[in-house]
Amino acid sequence: MLDEEIKKNIIKCSRCALCVQNCPIYEITKDENNTSRGLICKLLGFENKQLQEKEIKKDLKICLNCSKCKTNCPSKIDTSLVFAYKNAKLSPSKISQRIFLSIKLLPIKILYFLNFFKRKHINKNSSKIIYFKGCIARAQHKKTFLDNFQTPEFLCCGLPYLSSGDLKNYNKVKSKNIEIIKSANQVIFDCASCKSAIEEYIELEKIDKEKLVFFSDILNKNKYKLKNNSKFKNKTITFHKPCHLNKNDFENIENFLSNIENLNYKRLEDIESCCGFGGSYFIFHPIISTKIALKKAKTIKNSNADLILTTCPSCTIGLRYNQLISHNFKKTMELRDFIEENLEVKNHEK
């Protein structure tokens, strides 16, 4: 994102404040400097040379980049991307942060390297429908129904690099992804955060956003039932909506879960609430992150569900952390893995 694009975005703000009420950080701090409206006002002040760099750096760092403000913004401002870019530009990653990020990504890279030689996760068929298998799904090396699509060698969606201020590696990853997406007819995602991160930059490249679909689009083409050996027969399941999952994809997932025989789907209270984990956010802002997590833990406890599903590996870790601090342990899984292990197709749509 260029400085010009950042400026074009922030001058569109009408100060309507529709972004304030859903901001998970504002909910905790009650400080308007932490909201999208507050950050935009400060960025404008900085552009007009009324504010100094140090006066906005702290507020930019506290943003979770959850995109909730973008969803509510009538001016369609690319809020989270603007804040992440501006933060990366004003606070580029230092050597210590790069080392930290490398250590954080090391287990994923080692597992990825091992799996690279097994080649089980790579499906190089000639289909123009591609499965964007994210870095953690690759590292876990679980083969699922989504591996029937072509799974090329994506590096990463780029979000870990952008949020740590490493614009060099972010741009490298982004260029490679754009090249692959341009050559595909359709790209299927099973991680809400990867899809949202890529949607943000392909919009700037003027690539058709409709090419990117969430796997919930495929699910509702079939009816599913529990496998005989599934231990979830007549159990209650619930779903944590990742901040980056859009309304349409969420509705498809709810529709899918509600239609599985012998399984009770229960919607979580306060469905829009964040898990608080935000990749490495909880390491740099442990108090805010834990306060958000405790709120989420309460809604999970109130659901009395036997199983919590979600569609983002970072949220899966966040939900396990919620349960650890609230001593309320529930099985937590990625929806993709739950389907693979517990469901089978009942009948095809005519």
- Binding residues for ligand SF4, per CB under 6 A? 13-19, 23-25, 35-37, 40, 63-69, 72-73, 75, 77, 79-80, 83
Name the phi and psi angles at 347, rounded to 5: -160, 150
The answer to whether 317 and 296 are in contact (CB under 8 A) is no
In the chain, helix, strand, coil percent, each to 5?
55, 10, 35
Please, what is the minimum distance in Å from the beta carbon of residue 239 to ligand SF4?
20
Secondary structure (3-state) at 154: coil
Residue with smaller CB distance to ligand SF4, 11 or 345: 11
Structure tokens given for 96:
């210590």
Please, what is the minimum distance in Å from the beta carbon of residue 39 to ligand SF4?
6
Structure tokens given for 53:
């760099």
Please, what is the minimum distance in Å from the beta carbon of residue 70 to ligand SF4?
7
Please, what is the minimum distance in Å from the beta carbon of residue 275 to ligand SF4?
13
For residue 70, which amino acid is it?
Answer: K
Q: For residue 277, give the H/E element and its range.
A: none
Residue with smaller CB distance to ligand SF4, 154 or 170: 170
Please, what is the minimum distance in Å from the beta carbon of residue 196 to ligand SF4?
11
Residue with smaller CB distance to ligand SF4, 240 or 336: 240
Nearest partner of 276 among 100, 64, 21, 58, judged by Cα:
64
Residue with smaller CB distance to ligand SF4, 79 or 163: 79
Q: In what order do the strands lie in the sheet with 264-265?
A: 264-265, 236-239, 307-310, 331-334
Residue with smaller CB distance to ligand SF4, 62 or 136: 62
User: Residue for token digits 């876990």?
Assistant: 140
Please, what is the minimum distance in Å from the beta carbon of residue 216 to ligand SF4?
23
Residue with smaller CB distance to ligand SF4, 144 or 289: 289
